[in-house]
Structure 1
Amino acid sequence: MQFGVFTVGDVTPDPTTGREPSEGERIRSMVTIAQKAEEVGLDVFATGEHHNPPFVPSSPTTLLGYIAATTSTLQLSTSTTLITTNDPVKIAEDYAMLQHLADGRVDLMMGRGNTGPVYPWFGQDIRQGIPLAIENYALLRRLWDSEVVDWEGQFRTPLQGFTSTPRPLDGVAPFVWHGSIRSPEIAEQAAYYGDGFFSNHIFWPASHTAKMVDFYRRRFEHYGHGSADQAIVGLGGQVFMRRRSQDAVAEFRPYFDHAPVYGGGPSLEEFSTQTPLTVGSLQEVIDRTLGFREYVGDYQRQLFLMDHAGLPLKTVLEQLDLLGEEVVPVLRREFAALKPAHVPDAPTHSSLVAARAEAAGGVELASA
């Protein structure tokens, strides 16, 4: 099981001091957080993609490329790559380039984002969101899987004899997760290709997440990629912890109350009951996270949102110390003890290369 953190890269004033970091500070803090994640033994750092204030990560490959140069084991990912408004040709080339620079420590998550105006900013129509996601991803797969591509679709100019460069590292494309909160069409797409499905899992109740994951698992099996419990699932999560639960609640409350995505809605206590947000002691975080398995089954990746709502970098780094050194070791042990042997681990570049070699060997034996 992989554990890590994801960032949305918001620039939000600290409600307890009124101080707002500059864009440069926020960008550098995300680099520091990724480096800290590796230092404390986490597996993954993922960044969102946004093109509007108050968010700064408009160029995920630039950020991840820099982080790749300053880390050695960390898996680098996105928590959203906008498949609807990015040209698939550019995605294919950018992430293949990142693969080479990071020695394969790269995967990515396709998504449509949560900002409607982004569509016209990049010359697209939000009413075509789902068709764009489906067509653009089909082209992206072709670009990675075929050296020479002839292609014609609805949303971009045709390609004739086109080769994207560089080619994927070792001839194996980055593993893809499809992220969705509410769209069964995206879960269907993930299942069709045998890709991973990532449920953001931070704003919706457990019952909704359970339905989406179950649908994906059933369709994964339908398309012949394995049994439903072998489907590749990831979850998002939100935590804030201190050694005493009451200290965590008292410290996090002003951030919750004033954050743009929370403020003015349910109380901290109501939101924590209705969603997977966990604010409390280390043991409460452990117990709540282990409970996710009860309604989604065995899954492969757990990412936590830690650096949002104006939390100062010092506090985020303290949270990462607790997460990596005291919480995740327990979660690793407990999840590993529960996972059946036939349920796969999260794909990595090395495991995908090995699987391709094994499949090629089987074909050679069959034809001998």
Structure 2
Amino acid sequence: MRPDVYLLILGDLLPDPRTGQAVSEAERLRAMVEQAVVAEESGFTGVAIGEHHFTRYIVSAPELVLAAIAARTRTLRLSTGVTLLAHRDPVLVAEELATLDVLSSGRAELIVARGVSQETDAAFGIGQGELRARFEEHLRLLLLLLEKPEVNWAGRFRGPLAGVTTTPRPVQAPRPTVWVGSGSAASADLAVELGLPLMLPSTLRDPVGYAPMVRRYRERSRFADARVALPSHVFVAPSAAQARRQWRPHLASYAAFADEWRGDGTRLDVDRLMTGAAVCGDPAEVAGRLNHLGSVLGLDAHLVIVDIGGLAQREVLAVIRLFGTEVIPQLRLG
């Protein structure tokens, strides 16, 4: 059996480092839809679209992008990657997810996480020290709204609900899959408590460092959906030399942009990234490295991040197609 493979699109709008030119926001968003269509044609399981605010990651409403993708695909799973649940009203999130589920005939998913930007927290009125509590409360309410046709609820961070039924109701029963995005033991423990699958972070840090947390999650999980997934920045080309030459300027540009969220305090070394946290090479090398990560972390799914650092759309689509035809058939469960 093979792991599931999703195309993860975070949506950075950076100039091409070779030309200094950047596409428009409209071109960038339409390109994401086209990438998802090609991913389905190439054998990917799903697509995940990230949510960010007030940065050069330009997708602030991933559900709208996913709805556009739903209209042009038939089998692709449709997920956020991630939904910043502490910053959102869980009632609206439940309604949006269910609407996407209905429109896509039961293909919607959700990855929820707390986020890492204090500026975003402040802009959404989240006080210091309350992010974790707000996230946990919102997640518990979201699950209740998705699973129950009538909800009575009272909490700390939003008004009470009395006999509320969100509409439409999701197609999937008991509800669409909800993943917990986590880089901390506390969030992994919450995933265990709520019986939810675990999504590891996508921060260009060595993912092997999450092995103790994954072991903790596996040891404590006693439910059927105890899956683990890992996002990886990936570039594949017919030869390893071509892959490194073609990807290096884009990875360098993106890593410099995202460095403030990596949080490991080390100096940025792009060549080391390409042999470590970022997966780059020919199809055999890329498959081998992803299989190694799958074995170390016991992965059930990979999220592949291709479109970064101003990479031209034609190059992104070529990587998606090559990954689908030559890498996916070599992948195996961890």
TM-score where L is the length of structure 1: 0.84
In the alignment, is the contact (CA less than 8 A) between 1:84 and 1:112 conserved in 2? Answer: yes
Q: Which has the larger radius of gyration?
A: 1
Query: For the Cα contact (< 8 Å) 2:244–2:274, is it kept in 1?
Result: no
Give the superposition deviation at 1:172.
2.6
Whole-Å separation in 1 of the counterparts to 2:84 and 2:159: 19
- CA pair 262-118 structure 1, distance change in 2 beyond 3 A: closer
Cross-structure match for 1:308: 308
Q: What are the ranges of 5 or more consecutive residues in structure 2 without an aligned counterpart?
A: 261-265
**Deviation at residue 104 of structure 1 after TM alignment:** 0.4
Q: Distance in 1 between matches of 2:313 and 2:43?
A: 19
Residues 13-68 of structure 1: per-residue CA shift (max 9 Å, x gap): 00001111111011001001001101111111100011223122111111111110
Q: CA RMSD in A?
A: 1.8
Match of 2:258 in 1: 261
The amino acid that maps onto 1:261 is A
1:365 alignment partner in structure 2? none
Per-residue deviation, residues 235-259 of structure 1 (Å, max 9, x unmatched): 1111112222122111112112222
In 2, Cα distance between the equivalents of 1:120 and 1:165?
A: 30
| Distance apart, 1:325 and its partner CA | 0.8
Q: 2:240 aligns with which of 229, 241, 245?
A: 245
CA-to-aligned-CA distance 1:290-327 (integer Å, 9 cap, x gap): 10133112x32111000011111111001011100111
Contact 1:130 1:185 in 2 (8 A): no
Q: Residue 366 of structure 1 corresponds to which residue in structure 2? A: none
Is this contact kept in 1: 2:83–2:110, CA < 8 A? yes
Greater Cα shift, 156-165 or 261-270? 261-270
Give the equivalent residue in structure 2 for 1:141: 143
Change in CA separation of 1:265 and 1:314 when aligned onto 2, cut-off 3 Å = farther
For residues 18-167 of structure 1, the aligned pairs below 5 Å read 18-167=20-169
Which AA in structure 1 matches 2:307?
D
Q: Is the counterpart of residue 190 in structure 1 residue 191 in structure 2?
A: yes
- Is 1:235 aligned to residue 230 of structure 2? yes
The amino acid of 1:324's aligned partner reads G
Matches of 1:134 and 1:265, distance apart in 2: 34
Paired letter, 2:247 = F
Aligned to 1:317: 317
CA distance in 1, matches of 2:208, 2:321: 31
8 Å contact 1:111–1:180 — kept in the other structure?
yes
Asked whether the 8 Å contact 1:49–1:57 carries over to 2, the reply is: yes
Partner of 2:208: 207
Could you say if the C-alpha distance between residues 198 and 267 of structure 1 is closer, same or farther in structure 2, counting changes exceeding 3 Å? same
Residues 190-241 of structure 1: CA deviation (Å, up to 9, x unaligned): 11121110112552224322112112112213xxx26xxx721111111112
Contact 2:294 2:300 in 1 (8 A): no
Asked if structure 2 preserves the Cα contact closer than 8 Å seen for 1:202 and 1:238, the reply is no
Structure 2 Cα separation of the partners of residues 7 and 149 of structure 1: 34
Does structure 1 conserve the Cα–Cα contact (< 8 Å) formed by 2:101 and 2:172? no
Runs of 4+ aligned residues of structure 1 deviating over 3 Å after TM superposition are 262-265
TM-score between the two structures when normalised by the length of structure 2 = 0.92
Which residue identity does 1:322 align to in structure 2? Answer: L
Instruction: Tell me the secondary structure at the aligned position of residue 129 of structure 2.
Output: helix
How far apart are 1:89 and its partner, in Å? 0.4
Contact between 2:106 and 2:170, CA under 8 Å: does it hold in 1?
no
Q: Using the alignment, how far apart are the partners of 2:62 and 2:174 within structure 1?
A: 21
- The DSSP-based 3-state class of the residue aligned with 1:99 is helix
SS in structure 2 of the partner of residue 142 of structure 1: helix
- Please tell me the residue identity of whatever aligns with 1:65: A
Which residue is equivalent to 1:169? Answer: 171
Higher relative contact order (CA 8 A, sep 6+): 2
